[in-house]
Amino acid sequence: MRKQFLPYCLPLIGEEEIEEVVDSLRSGWVTTGPKVKRFEEEFAQYTGARHAIAVNSCTSALHLSLAALGVGPGDEVVVPTLTFCATANVVIHLGARPVLVDVDAEGLMNPGIAAQAIGPATKAIVPVHFAGQACDLRGLEDVARSHGIALIEDAAHAVGAVYAGKKIGTHGRCTAFSFYATKNMTTGEGGMITTSDDETATLLRRLALHGMSRDAWRRYAESGSWYYEVQEAGYKDNMTDVQASIGLHQLRRLDSFIARRREIAGRYEAAFRRFEELELPVELPERVHVYHLYPVRLKRSALRIGRSEFIEELKRRQIGASVHFIPLHRHPYYQTRFGYCAREFPMAEELYEGYVSLPLYPRMTDGDVDDVIEAVKGIVAEHRRPSIAIPMATHPAAMTAN
Ligand SMILES: Cc1ncc(COP(=O)(O)O)c(C=O)c1O
């Protein structure tokens, strides 16, 4: 057994990031400045989007994307129930109603189910690229286009993920990314919005900084001017150069992080695929999965313990784990305010009951990965239900054998 606890997640910060932060602190540019601009340019280039707007979180990125669309009181926005609360809360902050929908077996928003939830008040659908795998974007784009509504992607888990040969960030009207500490690349806290629409980009930049026509960089730099106008009551969501210092180097290392994530996912897959007690994530066609999460699904019919006991057993073996997510319809706030109940979301319920997210991050050593595999195998071996022997005469295979 491991001597030291393996945390569920840890970021991988290198000397380059540290030196770049120190350089920003020494330079005097500690708020939005030249490094934010460079980070935005490199991020746009990486994703292939025309514009990238750096903000202080993915929550802000989602909020601004919906605000730029004009979402407000009386409007509805379709959101999957299997997500972090931020995806729905930003809708509520704008005075609109989040309409929760169920997900498919991979935890993704299904175009058919999303279409059924669209009504006359719907302004947008907000699919979540759950665990680092893209939703069926072709299907969702068709749904959005045919109903004349916007597709805003929650790509908090999916920086670097690919759908139909294109990186996430170029499909919907806006795509929101997270650089929170646990994400595939981090700036501590931070986020980015990509869009290929010029007008939306201009509006997003303004809304992210009080509605002002000129940010600090364009006022205080040598080439700047003191004059600005407030064109609407915006927000204070800008990213700082200290955050961008970390982001610039994380972005340059992102492909190596993704390669390591995929390698670890491959090792889990090879180790667990013959276990009838576990269902593993599936990489769908036309996708490159970036494995932000590795949720294994416990088959309750095959195991004598449930999800919570499984996580406790992992902890006893010095392995951290988590659950993604407690579906939104299970939280008292959304139940009380909107009247959601469990039977409306059968797949999310099933996933929630069985899901355990195993640790998977580039900082893990091969030894750490071995320890996770050994712990999972040990728990399954100790808690598997005895298989029920089927008498030969009634075995379906015996009946069809010739
Ligand atoms: C699916 C999803 N959306 C949005 C967010 C919010 O991201 P941030 O913490 O950057 O605001 C998260 C964060 O965990 C998330 O998992």
Residue 6 lies in a domain: no
Residue 57, CB-side half-sphere exposure with 13 Å CA sphere? 12
Residue 392 lies in a domain: no
Burial of 151-168, coded b for 16+ CB within 10 Å and e otherwise, reads: bbbbbbbbbbbbbeeebb
User: What is the extent of the structural domain holding 95?
Assistant: 15-251
Report the range of poorest mean pLDDT among 10-24, 206-220, 267-281.
206-220
Return mean pLDDT, the chain: 94
Q: Specify the ligand 1 atom closest to the Cα of 190.
A: 10
Cα-to-chain-centroid distance, residue 302: 30
H runs (alpha helix) in 83-159: 86-93, 111-116, 137-147
User: Contact at 8 Å (CB) between 58 and 176?
Assistant: yes
Whether pLDDT at 42 is above 70? yes
Average pLDDT over residues 261-279: 97
**Domain identity same for 197 and 263:** no
Residue 400 lies in a domain: no
* Ligand 1 pocket at CB < 6 A: 57-59, 83-84, 86-87, 128, 154, 156-157, 178, 180, 191
Residue 213: which pLDDT band, with cuts at 50, 70 and 90? confident
Burial of 14-47, coded b for 16+ CB within 10 Å and e otherwise, reads: eeebeebbeebeeeebebbbebbbebbebbbebb
**Domain identity same for 109 and 213:** yes
Model confidence pLDDT, tens digit, residues 344-395? 999 999 999 999 999 999 999 999 999 999 999 999 999 999 875 555 544 4
Q: Please tell me the distance between residue 183's alpha carbon and the centre of ligand 1 in angstroms.
A: 9
Residue 304 lies in a domain: yes
**Domain identity same for 53 and 95:** yes
Report which of 356, 198, 160 is spatially closest to residue 275, judged by C-alpha positions: 356
**Domain identity same for 34 and 85:** yes
Q: Give the pLDDT confidence score for residue 392 in this predicted structure.
A: 54
Model confidence pLDDT, tens digit, residues 226-243? 888 898 999 999 999 999
Residue 399: which pLDDT band, with cuts at 50, 70 and 90? very low
Q: Specify the ligand 1 atom closest to the Cα of 60.
A: 11
Q: Give the pLDDT confidence score for residue 217 in this predicted structure.
A: 64
User: Contact at 8 Å (CB) between 155 and 176?
Assistant: yes
**Domain identity same for 177 and 188:** yes
Which of 251, 276, 308 is the C-terminal boundary of a domain?
251
Dist CA 331 CA 339 (whole Å): 11
**CATH code (residue 111):** 3.40.640.10
Residue 24 lies in a domain: yes
Cis preceding-peptide flag for 325 (omega within 30 of 0): yes
**Domain identity same for 95 and 236:** yes
**CATH code (residue 291):** 3.90.1150.10
Whether pLDDT at 207 is above 60? yes
H runs (alpha helix) in 281-365: 307-316, 332-338, 346-354
Whether pLDDT at 396 is above 50? no
Its pTM stands at 0.94
**Domain identity same for 202 and 291:** no
Residue 391 lies in a domain: no
Residue 332 lies in a domain: yes
H runs (alpha helix) in 157-276: 198-207, 216-220, 241-272
Model confidence pLDDT, tens digit, residues 146-179? 999 999 999 999 999 999 999 999 999 999 999 9
Which of 232, 251, 270 is the C-terminal boundary of a domain?
251
**Domain identity same for 301 and 311:** yes
Report which of 201, 175, 134 is spatially closest to residue 46, judged by C-alpha positions: 175
Total domain count, the chain: 2
Dist CA 187 CA 17 (whole Å): 9
Q: Specify the ligand 1 atom closest to the Cα of 62.
A: 4
Query: Which residue's C-alpha comes closest to atom 7 of ligand 1?
Result: 58
**Domain identity same for 355 and 272:** yes
**Domain identity same for 264 and 308:** yes
Whether pLDDT at 122 is above 80? yes
**Domain identity same for 181 and 279:** no
Residue 389 lies in a domain: no
**Domain identity same for 311 and 323:** yes
- Mutate which of 66, 126, 178 for ligand 1? The one with the most ligand atoms within 8 Å of its CB, which is 178
Q: Please tell me the distance between residue 83's alpha carbon and the centre of ligand 1 in angstroms.
A: 9
Q: Please tell me the distance between residue 381's alpha carbon and the centre of ligand 1 in angstroms.
A: 35
- Mutate which of 56, 58, 62 for ligand 1? The one with the most ligand atoms within 8 Å of its CB, which is 58
